Amino acid sequence: MQGTILVIDGVSTNRIVLKVQLTAACFQVLQADSMSAAIELMAGNRPDLILTAMTLPDGDAGAVKAALSRMPQLADVPMIALSTSNDRGTRIKALSAGIDEVLPQPVDDMILQARIRSLLRMRMQDEDLHMREDGVPSFVMPMTGATVTAAPRPDTSVALVCHDLPTAQKWKSRLAGSVGYNLRAYNVDAIQDLMRTPVPDVIVIELNEQSAGMALRLLADLRARISTRDSVVIAVPNPADATIAAEALDRGAHDVLHCGFQVDELALRISTQLHHRQRAEMIRANLRNGYRAAMEDPMTGLYNRRYARPFLEQVAREACTTGETFAVMVADLDHFKRINDQHGHPVGDAVLVEAARRLKAQLRGCDLLARIGGEEFMVVMPGIHPSEAATTATRLCNAISTTPFDAPGCDAPLAVTVSVGAVVSTPDGHVASGDEMFAAADRALYDAKHAGRNQALVKGPQRSAAA
């Protein structure tokens, strides 16, 4: 089955007809004859989409949507309302209430099926984002309702793409009085202009009888390109055509005005789609922040051990393939506990941040510097000659020891030193694993500490017994 659809209609004949249509399309169908019966049914069954009559024995489609909005587990279920009247006022009222689509009865099966596919596709994308977001719950900042429903940015741009430029200019003029967006007019073959950075946030495409084929190809192209894949695409068959509208939805349009160009409806659909896009962007930003928090040290901004160890293993595998040598270093600030004990942890934190900055300044862009412990750092340097690695290790020591550290709350600068243990892979065809290289660097660090600290010690990797 493709999903579960709940049909709500007080007329049994209508429910039967819809069940036959939807079952033939491999959907599982639940039925309710009233709003109260539907809410009771949904207490134990979570549908993927709701298909409801506009008028019900104990309410209407707007009341159903309002009831669902108070139920967190059902608030985001897409809804299509079927109306016996196809007037603009009824449609606008329903869309304003949060209903995703309004279709006239008797419903055209082609446009109904396409709309269902489109809404379910968008729902699956949303759920995928939410599932990924749930994967890092301890790192994700909660989103407030006020933030999610914030108005679109003042610089939001909307491109109106029509069969000819005069029509696009006419649409722009009519729409300008209803929205505060930056409107731009294009004809359908001006794709180079449309793709120029910054790309529009919303692209409205006219599906004219003369250019529907070209416009549909453009629609599919826009949805496939990296630069425009996050742009909202709204199709407008002009004049209204159910077949073309269904094709536009199946080509990836986020929304369609199946009744043709109407200013107030287009303005409403643009606003709704921008809010959907904004929420998706916020979830993606939360994900990026969450993954970054999982891999970065919040104090120094360096990568942490969780990121560094897989990075080291990847460098080791690549070195095995290319034959290049690489270096691993472990650096530890000397007598750091004394700084915390004598001056307090805020001073110690300031020293760590400055030490991280100084160490990073000595490395190449391709090198990794990670904080892997309290005052311990790891360096991974891919594709480096042993002599260059030894020079770098000495530079790291000098970067810390030559200039005292100014720290807030200290009367005088603090003298700080660092010990570095380094190991370079051998160029003889044998490449030690990342774990072996790290262990060898850690032993070199121990020897540097034992030899008096404030120095770098470079050694070769010790092969495992299995080697």
Per-residue pLDDT tens for 368-378?
999 999 999 99
Element (H, E) at 43: none
Q: Answer yes or no: is pLDDT of 45 > 90.
A: no
Residue 326 covered by a domain: yes
Same domain as 77, residue 10 = yes
What does DSSP say about strands 368-371 and 327-333: parallel, antiparallel, or unpaired? unpaired
pLDDT band at 98 (very low <50, low <70, confident <90, very high): very high
Residue 116 covered by a domain: no
Whole-model pTM over 0.75: no
**Quick one: pLDDT at residue 409?**
82
Q: Answer yes or no: is pLDDT of 125 > 60.
A: yes
Same domain as 141, residue 100 = no
Query: Residue 75: which of 52, 53, 42, 101 has the closest Cα?
Result: 42
Same domain as 196, residue 279 = yes
Same domain as 267, residue 289 = yes
Same domain as 286, residue 164 = yes
Same domain as 449, residue 329 = yes
Same domain as 366, residue 433 = yes
What does DSSP say about strands 376-381 and 418-424: parallel, antiparallel, or unpaired? unpaired
CA distance 272 to 261: 17
Q: Who wins on pLDDT, 126 or 379?
A: 379
Look at residues 294, 316, 339 and tell me which one is the last residue of a structural domain: 294
Same domain as 350, residue 265 = no
Residue 121 covered by a domain: no
The CATH code of the domain that includes 72 is 3.40.50.2300
Range of the domain at 379: 303-459
Mean pLDDT check: name the lowest of 187-201, 268-282, 341-355.
187-201
Mean confidence (pLDDT) of the chain: 88
Residue 467 covered by a domain: no
Q: Which residues of 201-236 are buried (b: 16+ CB within 10 A; e: fewer)?
A: bbbbbbbbeebbebbbebbbebbeeeebeebbbbbb
Is 333 within 8 Å of 435 (Cβ atoms)? no
Is 383 within 8 Å of 324 (Cβ atoms)? yes
β-bridge mates for residue 5, sequence order: 29, 49
Residue 415 covered by a domain: yes
Q: Answer yes or no: is pLDDT of 52 > 90.
A: yes
Report how many domains make up the chain: 3
CA distance 459 to 386: 10
Mean pLDDT check: name the lowest of 258-272, 392-406, 418-432.
418-432
β-bridge mates for residue 30, sequence order: 6
Residue 124 covered by a domain: no
Residue 112 covered by a domain: no
Same domain as 277, residue 200 = yes
**Quick one: pLDDT at residue 136?**
47
pLDDT digits (tens, 9 = 90+) for 161-212: 999 999 999 999 999 988 989 999 999 888 777 877 789 999 999 998 888 8
Look at residues 246, 266, 294 and tell me which one is the last residue of a structural domain: 294
Look at residues 236, 267, 294 and tell me which one is the last residue of a structural domain: 294
**Quick one: pLDDT at residue 130?**
55
Same domain as 90, residue 163 = no
Residues 28-32 have a mean pLDDT of 95
Same domain as 319, residue 230 = no
Q: Who wins on pLDDT, 193 or 19?
A: 19
Is 92 within 8 Å of 48 (Cβ atoms)? no
Same domain as 196, residue 71 = no
**Quick one: pLDDT at residue 462?**
53
Residue 88 covered by a domain: yes
The CATH code of the domain that includes 361 is 3.30.70.270
